[in-house]
Amino acid sequence: MRVRELLAPERTHFNVQGVSKKRLLDQAAQLVANSCSGLTEQQVFDALVARERLGSTGIGEGIAIPHCRLATCQGPVALLLQLEQPIDFESIDNKPVDLVFVLLVPENNPEQHLKTLSHLAALFNEAGYREQLRSARSAEELFKRATSSEEELQLAS
């Protein structure tokens, strides 16, 4: 799935204070629960933390893609956070994270989950895409760049 099919303006946040990985996951859970009916903050937080216990979702180059499957999730949902200051996310390259793309998917569609994660990893592996997001100066601009960049269109085709 393309970013534009997952993300919404109300789930795109700019200059987020991220004190620690755990606190950031808590903030993300709260933001998702506030914008998606049927999901509770505690349920999202617990699922994200459980996934992180399996291994960090920090994929390198300052990017983290925390993700989980939830029985109560009606469809794929994403949250994009650009952090005010990078935080330690135990990433594979040991670099701090400043862009976080949270992905929640229904429990009953693991194949779509894996395909979407693969697409996101490829997309965030593109230096141009990362730089477009990092140069945004507002949540609106961040959303626009995330959903309409040339790289997003080319990779998703």
What residues have CB less than 8 Å from 24, skipping those under 6 apart? Answer: 16, 18, 81, 83, 87, 100
Q: How far apart are the C-alpha atoms of 90 and 80, rounded to whole Å?
A: 19
Q: What pLDDT does 157 receive?
A: 45
What is the span of the domain harbouring residue 141?
3-150
User: What CATH number corresponds to the domain at position 134?
Assistant: 3.40.930.10
Beta bridge partners of 82: 14, 99
In-domain check, residue 110: yes
pLDDT tens-digit readout, 72-128: 888 889 999 999 999 999 999 999 999 999 999 988 878 888 899 999 999 999 999
The whole model's pTM is what?
0.92
Q: Is position 117 within any domain?
A: yes
Contact (CB, 8 A) for 48 and 29: yes
Asked whether residue 132 is assigned to any structural domain, the reply reads yes
Asked if the structure places residue 156 within a domain, the reply is no
pLDDT above 50: residue 130: yes
Domain count, the chain: 1
The torsion angles phi and psi of 65, rounded to 5 degrees, stand at: -125, 70
48: which 2 tokens?
Answer: 């994200």
Q: Which residues are part of the catalytic machinery?
A: 67
Query: Hey, what amino acid is at 135?
Result: S
77 in a domain, yes or no?
Answer: yes
Outline where DSSP puts E strands in the chain.
Answer: 12-16, 58-60, 63-64, 67-70, 77-87, 97-106
Is 155 inside any structural domain? no
pLDDT per residue as tens digits for the range 9-55: 999 999 999 889 999 999 999 999 988 878 899 999 999 999 999 99
- The answer to the question of residue 157 being in a domain is no
Residue 30 backbone dihedrals phi, psi, to 5 degrees: -65, -45
pLDDT reported for residue 153: 47
